[in-house]
């Protein structure tokens, strides 16, 4: 079984467009959306949710005003400025370390388990799909990513699937690292802009750091052919194979508006380009 | 006045709006808080005149005092310690720098030291003071670095914050405490879906907001009705224009070739000033 994650560093380069197309092209696979705080793949796959799970993670402090003597030991020790002068805890600022509860001389502080989101096992016309929704302004997205990946792996093993295909989050931080660790291939999608190149460089370095094999796709390559060439040269120097170039096409936006994987929306050259990418990536 | 520029979905044009807006103001600070992938400098090209390491406090164990009692492991909510018979393993990437282990160690065997996680760069371009954070590749924790970048804000001048995408802790850390948040979106189902999440986030934080529609379609009734129905102020529309996309690709702020947008960004700024005054 091959695990493939689609990442980019920079947001908006076409990760979900490409992952959605792979959902339509790959035969026996499990799809995963690891962009848990701004998920979009469900808008192309139209899942019907079969199993809903609460994601509990971390904790936050709660001060009982009836017991609190306002001694201030908690707020002095809190590194996150989460305790106000009125001895109320901001659940957004609190990182759940529990130091205040340990220090409180009158035991007025309790740590409450935090519900940080939900994750789902769904059925789609493209096969099983595991996805999630991090609560608004919640943390620990990395743990939620690990959770959905674990569930996807279980399903894939049970079904004897040949691929797990993961739509990754932007950036290079904790949810990206959680999406990347232990995969067989990271497919990097970039665009021919200075920002796209800069961000691809950092995400290639990240994959290298975690010993993950990489391949790269240039999306909208014809927006700036010169910049595309620069990216190709850079990839050559880093020994990252460029497995495809996708032209700028109106059909991509139209397919998203239609809520369909782009390869099911158009039969043009674009579809052919993406099929070739899948053949290089999926083998 | 602190104005943050955020989006939910990545690649909608946060950096474009933040940089062009800063260039239209008489005096401003621009802070790139997208520390995982900072891009504002590609467009601003400020002269960087100062570099500082960004660090977090992490524990260091003095084995002359440690008696392997395991309190550090017990009190760490982030599982950053593993106690072995004659060694305490510490996983720095798990640590949130809460200080519980050093404060609660019965042997006083833990002191805190600085661990670098990235770099802060400070520069200037004309009347714009520029501060950016760069997270070292492989580091997980963006929020402490974002907080350190924001600590450079001088309250005497307008500060524009280029925030990271998403709605999780890095975005919240960047946007928190701003007086107004500009949410940049595009008229696709992905853009509108993530805009809704971003709106919920800034509402939870109690920050007034408005929307900039990037790559706007002419006469887009669908999004117009949505904004009207939900009473969402639209501050500016930037049409889809191949020329703007090309300028972006080579790192040129588009107001340099579309001077008519200078007044539009200034009007947007005046609107924000007015609306925050009313709110206050």
A190 inside domain? yes
Residue numbers of A between 238 and 267 with CB closer than 8 Å to B:
253, 256-257, 259
The DSSP bridge partners found for residue A59 are A113
Q: Quickly state the pLDDT bin for B222 (edges 50, 70, 90).
A: confident
Residue A77 near chain B (CB below 8 Å): yes
> If DSSP states are collapsed to H, E and C, what string results for A27-82?
CCEEEEECCCCCCCCHHHHCCEEEEEEEEEEEEEEEECCCCCCCCCHHHHHCCCCC
B89 inside domain? yes
**What tens digit of pLDDT does each residue of A110-137 get?**
999 999 999 999 999 999 999 999 998 8
pLDDT the model gives residue B279 = 58
Answer for the pair B153, B29: CB distance below 8 angstroms, yes or no.
Answer: yes
**What tens digit of pLDDT does each residue of A175-226 get?**
999 999 999 999 999 999 999 999 999 999 999 999 999 999 999 999 999 9
A53 inside domain? no
Q: How many Å lie between the alpha carbon of A76 and the closest alpha carbon of chain B?
A: 12
pLDDT the model gives residue A62 = 97
Q: Quickly state the pLDDT bin for A64 (edges 50, 70, 90).
A: very high
Q: Quickly state the pLDDT bin for A275 (edges 50, 70, 90).
A: very high
Are A171 and B170 within 8 A, CB to CB? Answer: yes
More confident residue, B20 or A58: B20
In Å, what is the CA distance from B101 to each residue of B73, B96, B110, B270? 8, 11, 7, 49
Which residues make Cβ contacts (< 8 Å) with residue B74, sequence separation at least 6?
Answer: none
Answer for the pair A74, A63: CB distance below 8 angstroms, yes or no.
Answer: yes
Angle (deg, nearest 10), helices B242-249 and A194-209: 50
Answer for the pair A26, A278: CB distance below 8 angstroms, yes or no.
Answer: yes
Which residues make Cβ contacts (< 8 Å) with residue B240, sequence separation at least 6?
Answer: B215, B216, B217
Residue A43 near chain B (CB below 8 Å): yes
Regarding whether B78 and B38 lie in a shared domain, the answer is no
Residue B59 near chain A (CB below 8 Å): no
Q: How many Å lie between the alpha carbon of B267 and the closest alpha carbon of chain A?
A: 28
Which residues of chain A lie closer than 8 angstroms to B37, CB-CB?
A: 9-10, 170-172, 195, 198-199, 202
Regarding whether A276 and A160 lie in a shared domain, the answer is yes
Residue written as token pair 């932007």: A170
- What's the whole-number mean pLDDT along residues A233-251? 96
Regarding whether B177 and B93 lie in a shared domain, the answer is no
Mean pLDDT of chain B: 96
Regarding whether B184 and B101 lie in a shared domain, the answer is no
Residue A146 near chain B (CB below 8 Å): no
The DSSP bridge partners found for residue B90 are B81
Regarding whether A156 and A244 lie in a shared domain, the answer is yes
Residue B77, burial from CB neighbour count under 10 angstroms (0-12, 13-18, 19+) = middle
Are A194 and B176 within 8 A, CB to CB? Answer: no
Closest CA to A193 of A58, A62, A13: A13
**The domain spanning residue B67 has which CATH number?**
3.30.70.20
Q: Going by DSSP bridges, is the β-strand pair B110-125/B180-185 parallel, antiparallel, or unpaired?
A: unpaired
pLDDT exceeds 90 at position B219: no
pLDDT the model gives residue B50 = 98
Rounded Cα distance between A103 and A73, Å, is 7
Q: DSSP 3-state assignment of B30?
A: strand
A52 inside domain? no
- What's the whole-number mean pLDDT along residues A29-52? 98
Regarding whether A192 and A84 lie in a shared domain, the answer is no
- What's the whole-number mean pLDDT along residues B219-245? 92
pLDDT the model gives residue B11 = 96
The DSSP bridge partners found for residue B124 are B47, B129
Counted domains in chain B: 2
Regarding whether B99 and B6 lie in a shared domain, the answer is no
Regarding whether A265 and A139 lie in a shared domain, the answer is yes
Rounded Cα distance between B145 and A273, Å, is 40
B113 inside domain? no
**The domain spanning residue A62 has which CATH number?**
3.30.70.20
pLDDT exceeds 80 at position B280: no
- The predicted complex's ipTM stands at 0.94
Regarding whether B151 and B47 lie in a shared domain, the answer is yes
- What's the whole-number mean pLDDT along residues B2-10? 97
Regarding whether B195 and B75 lie in a shared domain, the answer is no
Domain hosting residue A186, numbered range? 2-46+125-282
**What tens digit of pLDDT does each residue of B26-40 get?**
999 999 999 999 999
For the record, the structure tokens of B111 come out as 């002191």
A10 inside domain? yes
- List the single residue in B with minimal CA-CA distance to A258: B189
Closest CA to B150 of B41, B33, B35: B33
**What tens digit of pLDDT does each residue of B97-121 get?**
999 999 999 999 999 999 999 999 9
Q: DSSP 3-state assignment of B114?
A: strand
Closest CA to B149 of B121, B177, B190: B121
Regarding whether B137 and B185 lie in a shared domain, the answer is yes
B216 inside domain? yes
pLDDT the model gives residue B220 = 84
pLDDT exceeds 60 at position B76: yes
Regarding whether B224 and B92 lie in a shared domain, the answer is no
Which residues make Cβ contacts (< 8 Å) with residue B20, sequence separation at least 6?
Answer: B253, B254, B255, B261, B265
End-to-end CA distance of chain B: 12
- What's the whole-number mean pLDDT along residues B219-229? 90
pLDDT exceeds 90 at position A241: yes
**The domain spanning residue A39 has which CATH number?**
3.40.50.300
Rounded Cα distance between A143 and A56, Å, is 10
Which residues of chain B lie closer than 8 angstroms to A174, CB-CB?
A: 140-142
Domain hosting residue B96, numbered range? 63-108
Answer for the pair A228, A48: CB distance below 8 angstroms, yes or no.
Answer: no
Residue B233 near chain A (CB below 8 Å): no
């Amino acid at each position: 079984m091959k695990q493939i994650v689609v990442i980019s560093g920079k947001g908006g380069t076409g990760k979900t467009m490409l992952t959605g197309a792979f959902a339509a092209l790959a035969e026996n696979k499990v799809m995963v959306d690891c962009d848990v705080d701004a998920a979009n793949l469900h808008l192309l796959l139209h899942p019907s949710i079969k199993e809903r799970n609460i994601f509990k993670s971390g904790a936050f402090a709660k001060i009982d005003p009836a017991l609190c003597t306002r001694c201030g030991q908690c707020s002095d020790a809190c590194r996150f400025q989460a305790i106000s002068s009125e001895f109320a805890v901001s659940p957004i600022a609190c990182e759940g370390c529990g130091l205040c509860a340990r220090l409180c001389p009158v035991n007025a502080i309790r740590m409450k388990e935090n519900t940080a989101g939900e994750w789902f096992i769904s059925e789609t016309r493209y096969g099983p799909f595991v996805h999630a929704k991090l609560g608004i302004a919640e943390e620990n997205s990395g743990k939620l990513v690990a959770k959905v990946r674990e569930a996807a792996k279980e399903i894939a093993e049970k079904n004897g699937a040949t691929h797990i295909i993961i739509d990754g989050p932007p950036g290079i931080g904790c949810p990206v690292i959680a999406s990347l660790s232990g995969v067989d291939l990271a497919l990097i999608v970039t665009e021919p802009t200075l920002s796209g190149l800069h961000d691809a460089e950092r995400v290639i370095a990240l994959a290298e750091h975690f010993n993950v094999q990489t391949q790269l796709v240039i999306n909208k390559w014809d927006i700036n052919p010169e910049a595309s060439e620069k990216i190709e040269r850079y990839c050559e120097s880093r020994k990252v194979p460029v497995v495809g170039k996708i032209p700028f096409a109106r059909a991509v936006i139209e397919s998203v508006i239609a809520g369909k994987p782009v390869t099911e929306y158009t039969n043009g050259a674009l579809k052919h380009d993406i099929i070739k990418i899948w053949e290089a990536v999926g083998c | 006045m602190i104005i943050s520029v955020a989006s939910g979905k990545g690649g909608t044009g946060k950096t474009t709006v933040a940089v062009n807006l800063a260039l239209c103001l008489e005096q401003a600070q621009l802070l790139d808080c997208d520390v995982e992938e900072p891009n504002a400098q590609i467009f601003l090209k400020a002269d960087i005149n100062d570099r500082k390491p960004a660090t977090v406090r992490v524990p260091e164990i003095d084995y002359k005092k440690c008696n392997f009692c395991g309190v550090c492991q017990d009190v760490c909510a982030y599982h950053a310690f593993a106690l072995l018979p004659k060694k305490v393993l510490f996983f720095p990437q798990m640590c949130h720098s809460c200080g519980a282990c050093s404060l609660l160690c019965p042997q006083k065997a833990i002191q805190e030291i600085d661990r670098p996680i990235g770099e802060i760069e400070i520069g200037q371009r004309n009347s714009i003071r520029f501060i950016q954070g760069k997270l070292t590749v492989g580091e997980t924790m963006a929020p402490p670095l974002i907080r350190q970048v924001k600590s450079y804000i001088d309250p005497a001048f307008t500060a524009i914050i280029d925030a990271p995408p998403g709605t999780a802790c890095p975005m919240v850390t960047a946007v928190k405490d701003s007086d107004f948040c500009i949410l940049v979106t595009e008229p696709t189902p992905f853009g509108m879906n993530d805009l809704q999440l971003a709106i919920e986030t800034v509402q939870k934080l109690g920050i007034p907001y408005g929307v900039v529609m990037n790559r706007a379609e002419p006469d887009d009734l669908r999004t117009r009705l949505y904004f009207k129905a939900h009473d969402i102020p639209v501050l500016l529309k930037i049409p889809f224009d191949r020329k703007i996309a090309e300028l972006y690709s080579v790192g040129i702020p588009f107001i340099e070739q579309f001077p008519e947008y200078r007044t539009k960004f200034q009007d947007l700024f005046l609107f924000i000033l007015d609306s925050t005054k009313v709110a206050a």
